[in-house]
Amino acid sequence: MRKLTFDEINKFEFKQSRFSFKADRIRKAVAELKPGEGLFVKNEESGSVHGPMQLLGKIKKATGMNYSCRTLRDGSGWVVVCNE
């Protein structure tokens, strides 16, 4: 183990996780929501068994916006609503 400089870190090539890519798409879409608007997230788009719920907590801490997330009864996905 050794400490790296900023230039050394930038020389590495990192793999893009399919989960982080999916979460990034959801994060961007949620950030664009205005109060009263919603977003439907399919299971396949989530990349997580828990859906976007954990991601919403992180977004709430960063932006101060309040979101609610509800699981659909048929299990096909979630609906995210911007409350503030």
pLDDT in tens, 36-79: 999 999 888 877 777 788 888 888 888 888 999 999 999 889 99
Question: Which structural domain range is residue 60 located in?
Answer: 36-84
Is residue 29 one of the residues assigned to a domain?
no
For the full predicted model, state whether its pTM sits above 0.85: no
Residue 58 domain-assigned? yes
Has residue 81 been placed in a domain? yes
Q: Answer whether residue 15 is part of any domain.
A: no
Residue linked to tokens 């048929």: 74
Residues 6+ apart with CB under 8 A from 38: 79, 80, 81, 82
Can you say whether the dihedral through the CA atoms of 65, 27, 45, 14 is positive or negative? negative
Name the residue among 76, 79, 72 with its Cα closest to residue 29.
Answer: 79
- The dihedral over CA atoms of 83, 67, 77, 75, expressed in degrees to the nearest 10, equals -90
In a domain, 59, yes or no: yes
Domain count, the chain: 1
Number of CB atoms found within 10 A of residue 69's CB: 19
pLDDT higher than 60, residue 18 = no
Is residue 12 a part of any domain in this protein?
no
